[in-house]
Structure 1
């Protein structure tokens, strides 16, 4: 499967395209591509849209999921405000990542930094049908915490 990528006008071509860090990686790393090759301060408790300098042409029947990087989450409390974020196959605009700082210290996003990962996934579309009753299951209406703890 091929995913076509275009750089935004003015984006730094030296920032690598998304790539898989290891042979078994499901997600390809996305990097910050910042105007003037600067930095963005992400204050504790804050959120910011970080540009990647990219646009995607996702084939019909697929989506791209934007997911947090576990290292940023563990070491700095930095994740995504909408994890996972979904990029639809018909979107052709700029690809940005909404980072959120859940940590106690300010965090600086630097030019070229790996900020998130993207996973290409197939999409199934449902046929929604209104019915008068649903089939029974062993769980039934049991909600949050209904299956016990541990």
Structure 2
């Protein structure tokens, strides 16, 4: 069952985020800027959208999979966090990871997705030691790799 949440929105243009398909987690954010992303460069791109989230929620700006797969375009700080108290325009920091081809962003292009989720505020409790776990301190690469010819993980 899909839950709904009323989110107040101030949009400078007709670019109110919309969900493309039933069941989609992300609503499309559209560009209000016309620009060229040169290979390996980034730009802060406007959406013309500002929202008021209720306490206990945050919005996350996520890359679009099609832009990433077809053009190498991603969101630099993915996911970008929009806190409940923020009332300014949501801007997207796009990065062209393609090192050879520039990418044109036109006004009205879908540039990112906005996912709204409930969040929990933690109370951080200082302790001298943490309880043990099966994983322990194993971090980056500690579980090995699916395919590792001629060597060990």
TM-score normalised by length of structure 2:
0.89
CA offset digits 1:49-97 (Å, max 9, x no partner):
1000111111111000000000000000000000000000000011111
Q: How far did residue 24 of structure 1 move?
A: 1.5
| Aligned twin of 1:18 | 17
In the alignment, which of 94, 115, 119 is matched to residue 115 of structure 2?
119
TM-score normalised by length of structure 1:
0.91
Distance between the aligned counterparts of 2:23 and 2:49, measured in 1?
24
Instruction: Determine if the alignment matches structure 1 residue 139 to structure 2 residue 135.
Output: yes
Structure 1 gaps of 5+ residues are: none
Task: Describe how 1:91-106 pairs up with structure 2 within 5 A.
Answer: 91-104=86-99, 105-106=101-102
Q: What's the secondary structure of 1:120's corresponding residue?
A: strand
Structure 2 gaps of 5+ residues are: 147-153
Distance between the aligned counterparts of 2:49 and 2:138, measured in 1?
43
Task: Describe how 1:46-125 pairs up with structure 2 within 5 A.
Answer: 46-104=41-99, 105-125=101-121
Q: How far did residue 148 of structure 1 move?
A: 1.6
| Aligned twin of 2:125 | 129
Q: How far did residue 135 of structure 1 move?
A: 0.6
Quote the RMSD (CA, aligned, Å).
Answer: 0.9
